[in-house]
Amino acid sequence: MHGVVTAVEPGDVALAIDRVERYERAVPGIHLVQALAKGDRDELAVQAATELGVDGVIPWASARSVSRWDSAKALKNRERWQTIAREATKQSVRPWMPVVEPLATTAQLAARAPQSTVLVLDPTGEHALTALTPAELGQRDVLIVVGPEGGIAPEERDALLAAGARSVRLGASVLRTSTAGPAAIAVLSATLGRW
């Protein structure tokens, strides 16, 4: 909504609404599956991904994650990620905020592959992310899987690929876990015409 402030009283503000804008969610949605990382690297990824337009964030307890969320820590850290997403949403003036889902296991991610386009970021991936077309991506939500420091364990990558995920590479450089997801979101946003 857009409007003009017409009156200000202690504890009250009056607005005259002059127009209402409607925003449609982009299809397909782009979701970041971010492996838990040491320090604040995973939080930096959530912040940048939100600013770049991600539709959802899924924290992932990968085998090689240094950070661990036990049951008590999981709720607190999920709330922290949601706060980061909310602040980044405000900063980037987005019409809605991405939802931070509960902590996922590799098996839970693999179970989502039949309903989603799952792209596993891998420096040795068989496909270049930049070569994918909108037709190849389709209308199903896209999940970008980013591993922790040290990369995704081979058995986890194999489980995701066996479930229908695709292995993709960003380029010749190996990016930090905090920058790989946002870089992939930028590429997909351009490919899908979001930008």
pLDDT in tens, 94-106: 888 999 999 999 9
Q: How confident is the model at residue 121 (pLDDT cuts 50, 70, 90)?
A: very high
Q: How confident is the model at residue 66 (pLDDT cuts 50, 70, 90)?
A: confident
Question: Which one, of 125, 108, 109, lies nearest residue 187 by Cα?
Answer: 125
HEC readout, 147-166: CCCCCCCHHHHHHHHHCCCE
Q: Give residue 31's pLDDT.
A: 97
| Count of H-run helices and E-run strands, the chain | 6, 9
Query: How many angstroms separate the first and last alpha carbons of the chain?
Result: 22
pTM to 2 decimals? 0.86
DSSP string, 64-88: T-SS---HHHHHHHHHHHHHHHHHH
* SS3 call for 33: strand
Look up residue 110 and give its two tokens. Answer: 């693999």
User: Which CATH class name applies to 26-191?
Assistant: alpha beta
Q: Give residue 65's pLDDT.
A: 84
- 77 pLDDT above the threshold of 90: no
Which residues touch 99 (CB under 8 Å, ≥6 apart)? 56, 57, 82
pLDDT tens profile 136-149: 998 999 999 999 98
- 195 pLDDT above the threshold of 90: no
* Cα(53)–Cα(130) distance, integer angstroms: 18
pLDDT tens profile 3-56: 889 999 998 998 898 888 777 778 899 999 999 988 888 899 999 999 999 999
Q: 63 exposed, middle or buried (CB, 10 Å; 0-12, 13-18, 19+)?
A: middle
- 68 pLDDT above the threshold of 90: no
C-alpha dihedral sign at 41, 42, 47, 51: positive
pLDDT tens profile 153-193: 999 999 999 999 999 999 888 899 899 999 999 999 999 99
